[in-house]
A = this chain, B = another copy of it.
Amino acid sequence: MSVHGIVLFGHGARDGRWAEPFERLAVKLRDAHGTAGPVALAFLELMSPDLPTAVAEQVAAGCAAITVVPVFFGQGGHVRRDLPALIDACRVAHPGVTIHCAIAAGEDDGVLDAVADYCLRQIAGSSSPAD
């Protein structure tokens, strides 16, 4: 079976704590994806590694295919313009590797259902005037 890597692509932020849910997401995916391939984070800006570095590491680890998932809530300019340019550069750099780019995770109905469920739980938990 060929090795299929997953790269979780996030925006990045100055505050290091911003990346914590991305790291927890990567742990969940490593558990689920198992021996099928590596799972890595990559960031557009302000955090490292960048996408070309993360992709090159997965290629060096033997990945024949890599799926990049934009962990963004919406498909704005970063996902529609910046990311395709990065993906194209990765494809040129690694012509033997199939690099697939997903739609932003926040566009997925299952993700939106989970966010809606989270919102409703906040209402249920805010009957006392908490902060």
Chain A residues within 8 Å of B, Cβ to Cβ: 4, 6, 8, 10-11, 13-15, 17-22, 24-25, 28-29, 32-33, 36, 65, 67, 69, 71-77, 80, 98, 100-102, 104-120, 122-123, 126, 129-131
Contacts and interface: CB of A to CB of B under 8 A. Distances in A.
A98 B25 contact: no
A112 B25 contact: yes
**Interface SS of A by simple majority:** helix
Contacts of A10: 73-74
Copies per assembly: 2
Residue among A102, A104, A131 with the most chain B CB within 10 A?
A: A102
B25 A115 contact: yes
A55 to B, nearest CB: 15
